[in-house]
Structure 1
């Protein structure tokens, strides 16, 4: 697996909501991060894993919610702030959904503009399609 694919998958994992399953998978993803070839990216990822492991789980979860769920400046959905009209946003969501389905990937529980899912998809499809 190429470094770019590996990093996209790790980032996809790290951006997901930190529930109990997420914490259980953390050591496996840390191990994957240790095999990233690019030294600065590997170091940045490992420092983030250190930060998570040194943080209180409840405080980290609260910080995640404040950052991505209750912030007016950040979100995990690409079309939320970019498109103001509901018609424009719906049209964009249909395009994202079609992109997923064209690549044999479905999102039964998430909106199709969910950044972690997009990163995961781009890590497993052809580089040109991912761009």
Structure 2
């Protein structure tokens, strides 16, 4: 994986998971161009599959779907510690761990909780390979759980989680 490739891949995944406001829609063509330039064939195809899905659905329908699936569903929301909600102590500990990752790397989350998937991906994309690997290693078990829930729900965004997990595995193997 090239020096910038993991950063671009994680940034693009963060963008595609982010809330689709007007600015987001304006940038979707740029996201497609970035996905088309992804050097790894599988990653490129998975990113483009999600973008195709979004574009085919259309703005209004996609926004309604996004809110229903990622904001109102307990099983598929994008807050990585929410899936441990039966164990509040564990959820609090995990939330503090994500907060620590941001602060240790010189960042903070001003508008989102530190376990919000796009924020974790943006943090990883802003870091060196080794630090990105460490952040993704903390997130990986939660990403794998979320991936299984996305797969059960037959969500196209399962492909994005595959891209993120593949990128994490590649960073782990390169820096190990």
Q: How does 1:8-87 map to 2 (within 5 A)?
A: 8-87=10-89
Q: Distance in 1 between matches of 2:106 and 2:67?
A: 30
Deviation at 1:117, TM superposition (A): 0.7
Deviations 1:77-115 (A, max 9, x none): 111012533333223222211210111212111000011
Unmatched 5+ stretches in structure 2: 134-176
Q: Which moved more, 1:38-47 or 1:86-95?
A: 86-95
- CA-to-partner distance for each residue in 1:37-91, whole Å, 9 max, x for gaps? 0012112212222222222211101111121122232110111012533333223
Range with bigger deviation, 113-122 or 38-47: 38-47
Structure 1 unaligned segments of length 5 or more: list them: none
Distance in 2 between residues matched to 1:10 and 1:62, nearest whole Å: 21
Aligned pairs, how many? 131
> Paired residue for 1:122?
124
Take 1:81 and 1:48, find their aligned partners in 2: how far apart are those partners? 23
CA deviations 1:4-40 (Å, max 9, x no partner) are 2211111000001111111011112212111100012
TM-score by length of 2: 0.68
RMSD (Å) for aligned C-alpha atoms: 1.6
- Greater mean deviation of Cα atoms: 43-52 or 3-12: 43-52
Alignment correspondent of 2:105: 103
TM-score (normalised: structure 1):
0.89
Contact 2:35 2:47 in 1 (8 A): yes
